[in-house]
Amino acid sequence: MFQIIIAIALVCISLSMLGLIYRVIKGPSIPDRVIALDALGINLIAVIALVSIFLDTYAFLEVILLLGILAFIGTVAMAKYLEKGVIIEHDRNK
Amino acid sequence: MIEISKIIVAILILLGAFLSLVTTFGLLRLPDVYTRNHAASKAATLGIMSIMLGTFIYFYMEHGHFNSRVLLGILFVFFTAPVSGHLISRAAYNSGVKLWDKSVRDDLKKARENSKSTR
């Protein structure tokens, strides 16, 4: 019973990731795609949590924290690139 | 594993999966970037936090394994997902993405014009 519930949740999250991929492909502007990719990364965290319950092992739980950090850094870098045109500014040379 | 903790874990996980589906419907159906960002950065954060809390309770009850990384992950997602939503929304506004054509107020535009005229 419990495994069936985990499987149902995995199917729901897979469907929602498919919808997000549709938004990444179609999205009319670049921030749309970045938002959808950020949500994809966050859904991937949920997939890892559910798979580690499904396989009944706690070896993968470090990946959760790692993916959270990576999704945040990627989104911040894309936002800064969209806003200023560079990600790391060279202030000293000015 | 105690039966009631199993029920709690199942409810938390199903709630998280449902909120994830809600996020996707918001991203597919809402009209412009800002409303989509509103859907994505709130519902996805809450859903993922509840799924991670369910995972934490599951491993604590089933194996007696107190995994502090999952708790740190919950805290980290709770702190950073709204920040990244704010950053990407501000970048969208500054790079000139239009609001929905039926939206009636743009207070940020007015505030920017005021700050330009006083400068």
Where is pLDDT greater, at A93 or A21?
A21
Where is pLDDT greater, at A87 or B28?
B28
CA B45 → CA A6, B1, B52, B76, B81, distances in Å? Answer: 19, 28, 11, 11, 7
Looking at residue B117, its pLDDT comes to 76
Average pLDDT over residues A26-33: 86
Q: Which of A18, A44, A48, A61 is the best residue to mutate to test the B interface, defined by the most B CB atoms within 10 Å of its own CB?
A: A61
pTM score: 0.87
Helix (H) or strand (E) holding B33: helix B33-62
Does residue A75 contact residue B82 with C-beta atoms inside 8 Å?
no
Query: pLDDT tens digits, residue range B14-27?
Result: 999 999 999 999 99
Looking at residue B96, its pLDDT comes to 80
CB distance B91–A9 less than 8 Å?
A: no
* Structure token pair of residue A87: 């990600």
Measured between beta carbons, the chain B residues lying within 8 angstroms of A58 are 59, 63, 65, 67
Cα–Cα distance measured from residue B53 to residue B65, given in angstroms and rounded to the nearest whole number: 14
Q: How many CB atoms lie within 10 A of CB B34?
A: 17
CB distance A46–B16 less than 8 Å?
A: yes
DSSP state for residue B101 in the 8-state scheme = T
Residue B103 has pLDDT above 80, yes or no: no
Report the range of poorest mean pLDDT among A26-30, B29-33, B36-40: A26-30
Burial of B44 (0-12, 13-18, 19+ CB in 10 A): buried
